[in-house]
Amino acid sequence: MVTAPLSALPAVQDRLELVDAEVHRLAAGSAVAGMDAAVRQLLATGGKRMRSVLLLITHRTFGGGPSGAEITAAAAVEMVHAGSLAHDDLMDAATERRGVRTVNADYGTSMAVMVGDRLLARAGQAALSVSPQVAGELIQSLVELIEGQVMEMTDAYDLGRTEERAMRSISLKTGTLFRSGCVLGGLTAGVDGEDLDRARRYGDRFGAAFQVLDDLLDLVSTTELLGKPVGNDLRQGTYTVPLLRALRRPELAWIRDVLAGGGREPADGQVEKVLAALKQDAFIDETLDHVRELAGQAAAVWDEPGATGRDYSVLRKLPLEYVSWAETLISR
């Protein structure tokens, strides 16, 4: 469940528990031996459930009542996210996620592919049971997620990658489910038009702040604090926004030569040297300022002239509140 101590959680905590139960109900029921066990193992990795939190808070903000549609929609979003993680773990050859063995490590490549595919398919069925519009929104998110992953793969080990391209990848791979969560929260509350547009832009900007911060933590946190290995992006040649910004700093420019010389299998010593160098206050503080700017852009959506007649205070403060909590995971 959600581990970030956000002030918005008490208002939706009981709904989040229903979402979790719905995810497990919808994901189970396979007639194939071993499939349900593998799915349960994947779902046991937990997570912050930020996409569900956003959906439920948006639904509540727009006046939506507890109809059950928002629970099914949130479960569908979480299943897409979980299915994508099964595929991520496989592509990364990861053996553990948040202290739980990955499906590919224990069940093999083929089962990991099928588990991810099953969750994506069940998510589509769940979304369609809410409404064709909800299903269309979620399926579009899946298309964008796939394109974002392909862009990341195409850019692997490319030291010429631009920050603009990295941000586009974020918008497709991470931002899409943040956008979808907010939009589905609005749809299940019965809103449309400018309200949905604002929800979409809010989710996109929040997703950008979330991912840039997550990428920073991969460089300057610890395995103990994060619950997963750090430095994975470096090892896999995913040159993220924080790293690209670091390479522009004169005192860190040497990192480019280290990465160029390491090829596609950088030595552990090289990775550790880079990670140690990045734990400097100037780089961390500059990146955090950029993250706060992105979070502020998300919050500002609810201060636009047309955003009237509702209490947007919870949505407005959520991005910066999340950033403040996540900063505690930085190791200087």
Residue-wise pLDDT tens digits, 216-257: 999 999 988 887 789 999 999 999 999 999 999 999 999 999
Please tell me what DSSP assigns to residue 101.
E
Report yes or no on 2 lying in a domain. Answer: no
Residues 80-96 as b or e (16 or more Cβ within 10 Å = b): bbbbbbbbbbbebebee
Mean pLDDT of 297-304: 97
Residue 105 belongs to some domain of the structure: yes
CATH number at residue 33: 1.10.600.10
Q: Are strands 100-101 and 96-97 parallel, antiparallel or unpaired?
A: antiparallel
Q: Is residue 91 part of a domain?
A: yes
In a domain, 174, yes or no: yes
Flag whether 5 is in a domain.
no
Q: Based on the structure, what is the number of domains in the chain?
A: 1
Does 168 reside within a domain? yes
Residue 3 in any domain: the answer is no
The average confidence (pLDDT) of the chain is: 93
What DSSP character marks residue 174? I
- Cα dihedral 73, 78, 80, 84 in deg (nearest 10): 170
Q: How confident is the model at residue 3 (pLDDT cuts 50, 70, 90)?
A: low
- 159 burial (CB, 10 Å; 0-12 / 13-18 / 19+) is middle
In a domain, 325, yes or no: yes
- 44-94 pLDDT, tens digit per residue, is 987 778 999 999 999 999 999 999 999 999 999 999 999 999 998 888 888
**Neighbouring C-beta atoms of residue 303, cutoff 10 Å:** 9
User: In this structure, are residues 172 and 145 in contact, taking their beta carbons and an 8 Å threshold?
Assistant: yes
Summarize pLDDT for 91-108 with one digit per residue, the tens: 888 888 887 899 999 999
Q: Which residue has the tokens 């470096």?
A: 234
Residue 166's domain comprises 10-329
